[in-house]
Structure 1
Amino acid sequence: MDIRQLRHFAAVAETLHFGRAAELLGMTQPPLSQSIQALERELGAPLFARTKRSVALTPFGAAWLAPVKAALAGVDALPDLARRLRQGEAGRLELSFISTADYSILPSLVRRYAALYPDVEITLVEATSDVQIAALLDGRGHAGVIIPPADSALPAPLAYRRLVSEPLIAALPETWLETGRIRLEAGRLPPAAVIASPLIVFPRRVAPAFYDLVLDYYTARGGHAHVAQEAIQMQTIISLVSAGMGMALVPASLRHLARTGVRYVDLQEGAPALETGLVWRRDDTEPTLARLIEVAIQTPADRDAVRPVLPPPATPARRS
């Protein structure tokens, strides 16, 4: 059987009249009758009970009509689906992200993208920047939200778009403030108190740009960081702070990660700025990726602590 036969059957089933069905189909009645007969022979059962005065669906024909209509509707929808796939309005998008982005740009980015393109299936995977970059270079995934390398150099196959920049703040155990171990000045943490405190930080191997940004703060003030503990998840770092194992310098958007026993405090001076952006393969022609880039350019972070950076709309050049 073919699609034409299914359309012939549906037309006769709807009109219960071969003549009117033939008119609707733009054909004469004899070829329509022959098509239905051939279809019935292929199915091995009659679809219509015919008399000289009437045409009626057989029980078999009536039961077969609904799935035929569904099949035809699916076929009729294929051209529009193809158009939406070509334009990135349907399909799949694989997006990875660092844990810090979950408190800054990621929620607003995903929310806006999903609202504009509800028929795109979005797969979200949390991973460190180094893992994301390696995956993209290996041809896996479409894009990632990362902290770029400190020297702004990414492998040539990758393109990058800066999205947000936010200051670092201190995450402190509340007990340190309550017992006077740490004293604030005008509600801010002075550099001497930062240098004197044990530090909890990402390992350099998984977040070199973040690690160096934090340690450069100490070096610029003539001190050295005493790294008490390393952890690769921001939630784990905050938990360790809550346990009193040390303090951490974290993105300002982490204020929205409430944790008992943790106090977020601004630095008194020279707070480093952490950049977060979108990375993807230059040769990836997936339409859903193109739509994501468009949305990313136009989506500010929805956290007060984050300063959005909206680059010019031109196609991004490779960072060097």
Structure 2
Amino acid sequence: MELRHLRYFVAVAEERHFGRAAERLHMAQPPLSTQIRQLEAELGFPLFARTTRRVELTDGGRAYLEHAHAILNAVEVAGRQSRRVAEGLEGRLTVGCVGSATYDLMPRFTRALRTAQPDVEVTIQGEMLVVDQVDALRSGDLDIALLRPPVHEPALTMRPLRSDRLVAAVPDSHPLAARPSIDVRALEREPLVVHSSRGSVMHRLVLDLCESAGFTPLVSHEVVETSTLVSFVAAGLGIAVVPEGVSKLGVPGVRYCALKGATVELCAATRTHETRPLVARALEILVEVLPEPAVETPSSERPEDTDRDGTGRLFWGGERGHIDARSASC
């Protein structure tokens, strides 16, 4: 039995006439009659009571008609839904995000996804370390990861999104809080609250930033989550270096001062062989919601030896202390 047999049967049952059913199906009547007889033979009972003037459903035929309608409707729904999935309009999408983008880019991205693809089930995992994001991408637990480079993983494709300005999160009672921008050397004798050394690009970046400016940072606390880091700053436990998007947290008691000439990259990572339209459309939406680039600090305000090599690594000072970590939390 094939689906066409069910369609033939439904047409005859609804038309109650083989000739009209054949016209509706755009076929000749004799082949239609033959197909119905073959269906009845396979089922083992008559579907129609035939006379010279009319065709009526038998009791078995009426029962079979209900099931035939249900089967054909289910097939139509399955095709329609599967087509939407194939076009990226339905399905499941899981996105992982580093701490800073969790509070900045992720809300806009999620709202845009829900508006453009309301039938896509979106799951967000925020405040993820990059080592965890990479593992989750490889295992299939994540579809897209918003992370800080560099990431050395051939199985993943990195798409640069933007360059985030670095700022110093300062307690609002601190003397530096009144300054709109500062040089990194202003942090030389300040206690710093930093991200955990376990797999954090921001941890390595802050250390290299300070060392390249000629001093060893005074680390007072290490924390895992960005929200905790900013809360420690509000409590007066130290100063933190974070991407500018962290200011979206809006924690009372914290001011943000731009660090002259210091930036860090944000990228979207996917599996290299990812081909699903759902993921491709999500990446398009992600680019659409990116904010306008921040106005860069004038070159006259930057240290002369600031440099960048295009890999997401930041250099500061005459001796290049570069960031070459494989993971990040912020």
Say whether the fold is shared (TM-score over 0.5). Answer: yes
| 1:215 and 2:207 matched | yes
Does structure 2 conserve the Cα–Cα contact (< 8 Å) formed by 1:182 and 1:193?
no
Tell me the equivalent position of 1:159. Answer: 157
CA contact (8 A) 1:200 1:237 kept: yes
**Residue type of the alignment partner of 1:26:** H
| 1:235 CA drift (Å) | 2.0
> 1:227: which partner in 2?
219
In the TM superposition, what is the alpha-carbon distance from 1:73 to its structure 2 partner? Answer: 1.8
Q: Are 2:144 and 1:132 aligned?
A: no
Give the 3 Å change call, closer, same or farther, for CA 262–219 of structure 1 in structure 2. Answer: same
**In 2, Cα distance between equivalents of 1:186 and 1:246:** 17
Displacement, 1:14?
3.0
SS at match of 1:204: coil
- Structure 1's unaligned 5+ residue stretches are 308-317
Deviation at 1:143, TM superposition (A): 3.3
Provide the residue aligned with 2:290 in structure 1: 301
Unaligned 5+ residue runs, structure 2?
297-309, 313-330
Offset from partner CA, 1:200-223 (integer Å, 9 cap, x none): 22123321x312322334334444
Aligned to 2:326: none
Letter of the 1:147 counterpart: R
Which shifted more, 68-77 or 186-195?
A: 186-195
Could you tell me how far apart the structure 2 residues matched to 1:161 and 1:39 are? Answer: 56
**How far does residue 125 in structure 1 lie from its aligned partner after superposition?**
3.2
Q: CA deviation at 1:97?
A: 2.0
1:245 aligns with 2:237: yes
Q: Which residue of 1 aligns with 2:228?
A: 236
Instruction: Please give the alpha-carbon distance, in whole angstroms, between the structure 1 residues aligned to 2:146 and 2:253.
Output: 26
Out of 34, 56, 76, the residue aligned to residue 73 of structure 1 is 76
Aligned to 1:282: 272
Cα distance in 2 for partners of 1:154, 1:221 equals 27
- Cα separation, partners in 2 of 1:102 and 1:49, compared to 1, 3 Å: farther
Structure 2 distance, partners of 1:160, 1:123, is: 21
Residues 46 and 128 of structure 1: CA distance in aligned 2, closer, same or farther (over 3 Å)? farther
Q: Contact 2:101–2:146 at 8 Å: present in 1 too?
A: yes
- Equivalent AA in structure 1 for residue 157 of structure 2: A
- Offset at residue 6 of structure 1 (A): 1.0
Q: Is the 8 A contact 2:181 2:260 kept in 1?
A: no
Number of residue equivalences: 295
TM-score (norm. length: structure 1): 0.73
- In structure 2, the residue matched to 1:263 is 254
C-alpha distance in structure 2 between counterparts of 1:66 and 1:56, whole Å: 17
Kept in 1: contact 2:6–2:68 (CA 8 A): no
> Partner letter of residue 244 of structure 2?
A
- Secondary structure in structure 1 of the residue aligned to 2:21: helix
Q: What SS does the aligned partner of 2:166 have?
A: strand
Deviation at 1:8, TM superposition (A): 0.9
**How much has 1:252 moved relative to structure 2?**
1.3
Percent identity, please.
33
Over 3 Å counting, the alpha-carbon distance change for 1:73 and 1:287 in structure 2 is: closer
